[in-house]
Amino acid sequence: MLIAVCSLKGSPGVTTLATALAVRWPGQEKPIVVEADPAGGDLMARFRLSDTPGLVSLAAAARGRSAADPNLLPQHTQLLPGGLRVVLGPVGAEQARAALTVLAWGPSWPLRRAADHPETTVIADCGRVDPDSPVFPIIRSADAMLLVARPHDDELAHVALKLQAAQQWSRRPCFVLVGDGYPTAEVSQALRIPVMGRVPRDDKGAAVLCGQGTGRRGPDKSALGRAAAKIAHNIHALAVNNGTRVPHLRVAVPGEPVSAAPLQPLGPQTRSGATS
């Protein structure tokens, strides 16, 4: 299964969500996270890891006949401290875009080949999607696309403008909301797209999920970990049920406002002129 995680504006935590989903993935599978962000990866510098193997070495290998090998992708992974397998993206945007251009095209594309293996799940961190992004082939071939956004006026207004186009990128687009803001049900109703779940802003939980935490709380104890587990379970059910429609999920987040101003469907969002 191939899952594309991306945003339409800003940096709402795409990399954090991708790694959280992988760490909390249900069953015995050990997913592979691919840093496919055209702006460059974060995990290499964050964990002080080597630049190889990674996305660049994968692209170089994909130029040869071995691109058809479903085991090619795992050969270019590194392990984060918590044991998560990751294909690290280069820090520089130019190098990242060049590698993605090689990987995204052709019948022997290694991400899709690996994801087609029944025991492999690939989660692609596609970062922010711009009009000239080289990750469009990844998103279009994905089994599910998660659009990550903060439920705030500015981000939702921007998303609403691009939503019609984004719905054509994937047969199964869903929202994941990050942090406080408009209630989940209102966002789903206004934008007319399923909201698969909501994750809190949880810096300590993110550190634990990636193996950096120093406390006793494991991934299953953090608010981020619990929310990610629910979303991962729902995505996993798609594969088990042969692609049935994603249901709406209501993931409770402590402190989420219950009387925020209502959204206007696919139009400008403003709190000041709205009533609860």
pLDDT band at 155 (very low <50, low <70, confident <90, very high): confident
The C-alpha atoms of residue 248 and residue 196 are separated, in whole angstroms, by: 6
Q: What is the mean pLDDT of residues 245-251?
A: 37
pLDDT band at 86 (very low <50, low <70, confident <90, very high): very high
Which residue, chain included where needed, has tokens 């403008």? 161
Q: What is the pLDDT of residue 246?
A: 40
The C-alpha atoms of residue 140 and residue 172 are separated, in whole angstroms, by: 10
Residues 200-235: tens digit of each pLDDT: 887 777 766 665 655 555 666 788 888 999 999 988
Residue 268 CB contacts under 8 Å (≥ 6 apart), including other chains: 157
Q: What is the pLDDT of residue 18?
A: 94
Q: Which residue has the higher pLDDT, 238 or 34?
A: 34
Residues 109-145: tens digit of each pLDDT: 789 889 988 888 999 999 999 888 899 989 988 888 9
Cα three-residue angle 119-245-140, rounded to 5 degrees: 65
The C-alpha atoms of residue 273 and residue 253 are separated, in whole angstroms, by: 26
* CA torsion, ordered 23, 16, 234, 22, to nearest 10 deg: -20
Supply the pTM of this predicted model. 0.83
| CATH code for the domain defined by 2-240 | 3.40.50.300
pLDDT band at 99 (very low <50, low <70, confident <90, very high): very high
